[in-house]
Chain A
Amino acid sequence: DVQLVESGGGLVQPGGSLRLSCAASGFTFSNYWMSWVRLAPGRGLEWVANIKEDESERWYLDSVKGRFTISRDNSKNSLYLQMNSLRGEDTALYYCARHNFASPLEYWGQGTLLTVSS
């Protein structure tokens, strides 16, 4: 079975940094695009970033460009999101999700919670 398990969330002060991880199992990780999507209180779902199978393409939500970096390690079946210069509006439950190129988000993890607050 496809499994995606996020980790790394926590409480961070504004301006701080954090790295989220997503451990994948049950499928050939290197064959799929991966995305990060967040659910903010009262704001609904928001796509954050995605990455091609070989890392040759990465796309970001405008409000996180230059602050967040998506990456992956296919040898470890893992996806990452490095988040710098964090703001209060980044507070959310962050999900990783699997998809094909130009295809919907088929499998989702349970999410990891990021809170940005002083």
Chain B
Amino acid sequence: DIMMTQSPDSLAVSLGERATINCKSSQSVLHSSNNKNYLAWYQQKPGQPPNLLIYWASTRKSGVPDRFSGSGSETDFTLTISSLQAEDVAVYYCQQYYGFQWTFGQGTKVEIK
């Protein structure tokens, strides 16, 4: 199984400041056949289902604000919120969909400082 480890577990950022979440996979999720990283990011607010933000490591889903961006390749990935807004308070998860058994990171809780 591919293990996903996020850091930090939680972070508090001032409004308008940058938030950075890291995600590391135990093996590469870069598929050689198409040069795509099978890595997604989700946002989950209290009482709501998860919401897909980023897929293929860096492609923003339609409708997601451009302050959210994803980067990285193979085993190391980052989700950046360039200017934190109050509505961004949530738990963020990375997920690999490389193999047939999918795994999530443990989640990172983002709060306002």
Contacts and interface: CB of A to CB of B under 8 A. Distances in A.
Interface of A: 35, 37, 39, 44-47, 50, 59-62, 95, 99, 102-106, 108-111
A46 B61 CA distance: 22
B100 A106 contact: no
Contacts of A110: 49
Interface in B5-33: none
Nearest to B61: A106
A47 B49 contact: no
Contacts of A111: 49
B97 interface: yes
A61 to B, nearest CB: 7
Interface of B: 1, 38, 40, 42, 44, 49-52, 55, 61, 91, 93, 95, 97, 100-107
B95 A104 contact: yes
A101 B91 CA distance: 26
Contacts of B40: 104-105
B8 to A, nearest CB: 14
B104 A108 contact: no
Which of B49, B91, B93 has the largest number of chain A CB atoms within 10 A? B49
B4 to A, nearest CB: 10
B50 A103 contact: no
Contacts of A99: 97
B104 A45 contact: yes
A44 B107 contact: yes
Contacts of A47: 95, 101-104
